[in-house]
Chain A
């Protein structure tokens, strides 16, 4: 059922018209004040002059570049080879190859990361229960050979 719009009286129409005559210019002035403020504040510019400022360029902390294992100064990582990131990855860019250490415990052997198929969605980072991986701010990832996209992220065997 369609609701009928009741016609407004002439007095009401004139009232609304007069109100809009006042609020309209005010809202336009508000918009103008925003643009003029941006125009006179050059420090708000977000454009980067990329090849020229290569040395000083800093990516934003939330930028998702290449995947990496969080390592301490000795190169030890927090990965337990649970494989949750492997399951979270939508296009199978992660392979966890686990081994057994001397004590017979399952530890991380090789953390294989295929950059070529990775879409930088960040689901693996969200899935990791130990906070062992992160996306770094590296963005110059192009390379001449396909082999360089097949990476082994861990330098050392996991501690378990």
Chain B
């Protein structure tokens, strides 16, 4: 029995006008897919433009300026270029796996995006196992990178993908443990419930609600998710200066565009996850003063959500263009000797906090 989990008013409306449950479910699913694709594919060019501008201004440059007003059309032109390029696999590559890898890579962020509550009623799937689902789905990204590196018959690709496999699997543990901390303190693995547990003033967000631990957990989430995203300073997988691009050395055209797209949708997904788990999701930052709060509450929730996601993305980008890449052994040292013990300690302290204060 298919259980239509699309629970927002639009889904109810379609269920009302179409009495046959199978067809209404199909229509609902189609609407959800289109919405998710629109959000994901629509934001990716904006993010690419944003990244180019932010990196340029940090390095005292201007970035794209020629195409359109301040280079706004540049990414669209780049996307068109990538789409019209010929796609070919190198000699000796495993064709099937070679073309499968970018698709697997692209699946993961889309699946994770279905779990994110954008507003009170804007959530595709309200699963009770939202956080475990996202952790599980994140593994797809690693699989795509590993397969892509292996199938392209290139030593740099293989090296990059193996390195990134080791890195991402290691940091996955910290990532999961920090999310576990949030699940522990909020008492639910459902992302909607986690968001609703942060309603109230700005001090009720999980980053501030637990005095110091919340902020430490947020920093740890930031570090481990940067490693999960394969972004600098943890871009061991690409490491352009050492590995000429790592796992996507041999990719071009549409296949490369899919890897690129996956990277940026992953950025959106992880930022949304950070927003949901730590920054109060779609709730406005109320400060407890009546007159200001009524004004803040008038702004719709998804705008607050988008604003917080935008803030997180800018933070990721500034960090990317500031810090240098650690060596592979330093990276593993940091995870296994510092981040993982610190995470376990954080979990224990969080449990103590709940036991004592409640």
Contacts and interface: CB of A to CB of B under 8 A. Distances in A.
A47 B62 contact: yes
Contact of B318 (A32, A45, A46, A49): A32
A45 B322 CA distance: 17
Interface in B44-95: 54, 57-62, 65
Given A28-B323, A31-B323, A49-B65, A36 B318 contact: yes
A39 interface: yes
Contacts of A47: 60-62
A39 B318 contact: yes
B324 to A, nearest CB: 9
A38 B55 CA distance: 10
A35 interface: yes
Given A31-B323, A49-B65, A38 B318 contact: no
B58 A39 contact: yes
A146 B62 CA distance: 36
B111 to A, nearest CB: 33
A153 B333 CA distance: 65
Nearest to B62: A47
Contacts of B318: 32, 35-36, 39
Contacts of B321: 35
A42 interface: yes
Contact of B61 (A28, A35, A46): A46
B319 A38 contact: no
Contacts of A31: 322-323
A32 B318 CA distance: 8
Contact of A44 (B60, B65, B319): B60
A82 to B, nearest CB: 43
Interface of B: 54, 57-62, 65, 318-319, 321-323
Given A38-B57, A39-B54, 19 more contacts: A28-B323, A31-B322, A31-B323, A32-B318, A32-B319, A32-B322, A34-B322, A35-B58, A36-B318, A38-B58, A38-B60, A39-B57, A39-B58, A39-B318, A42-B57, A45-B61, A45-B62, A47-B60, A47-B61
